[in-house]
Structure 1
Amino acid sequence: MRGFKIDLSGAWKQAERKLAKLAFLDLQELHEELGEYMIAETRRRFREGIEPGGAKWPKLKSAGIKRGADGRFVEGSGKKNNRKPLLKTGRLRNSVTYRATSDKVEVGTNVVYAARHNFGYRKGKRVLTPRRQYLGVNERNVREMKEIIMERLKGL
């Protein structure tokens, strides 16, 4: 029987070195980079007034809307409100931060009313606060985070 021999010892040594580097990769630094990316994305959503999926946030209600004799709001009776939602003081936008460890990265806020705006608030059938989602990950975010991870791995 005829055969041939391939010497993979050099390639195997190189693979072992790369695997050893991977084992000692500082994931906290990678998670910090991903956290910074998500903070930038969240701030962009505030600027543009959009949800992670790209839908526009509901506009603010007009100020000073009057009620009619039947108790219902009279359409067009208030001043136009051209302000962008969730930006009056900037407190919510500026409170969004991340916490990175070697295991994970978490993006969020400690502002008490944050969930009410991100998920909306209803009382019965009445919508008291419309949903204006600012936290979340979309397909583009996933692609870009994969690119960040791949760039980090290329450097090994």
Structure 2
Amino acid sequence: MLVRDVMSAFPAVIRTGADVRRAAELLSVSEVGHLMVLDADDRFVGQLAEDDLIRALVPDLDGVLAAGATMADAFRVFAERGREVADRPIDPLVRREAVTVGPDDPLAKVAVALLDRGMRRIPVVVDGTLLGTVSRADVCRAVLYHA
């Protein structure tokens, strides 16, 4: 079985230059945990995950608490940090060294990449053009229903 047989052809995307607030909104409504990032020419440049946004938003909570602050203080710092970064561009947060696969790659290769790299979703790209994504759930469905 090949990637093209199981990939999702309509991934959640965002453009470079978009702000952190927009990325958070898209992640919230898409419920996929990752956005595929395209440049102005519709070329795939990388991924932005919920984890990347959380790292940008969350201050060093251990440091805040170690300084004698309470959890309420830590939450206030978290909210302030959110306001600080909401209008900043996502570009510095984008994972540009994204692992990709092609539509003619065997599904077994994708399964190994997903597991070995701890990924939940992998982009399907040909010559810089994003064709779709393959998720762990896509692999599981393929194995269960097409075995």
The TM-score with structure 1 as length reference comes to 0.29
Which structure's residues are more often strand, by fraction?
Answer: 2
The TM-score with structure 2 as length reference comes to 0.30
Which structure's residues are more often helix, by fraction?
Answer: 2
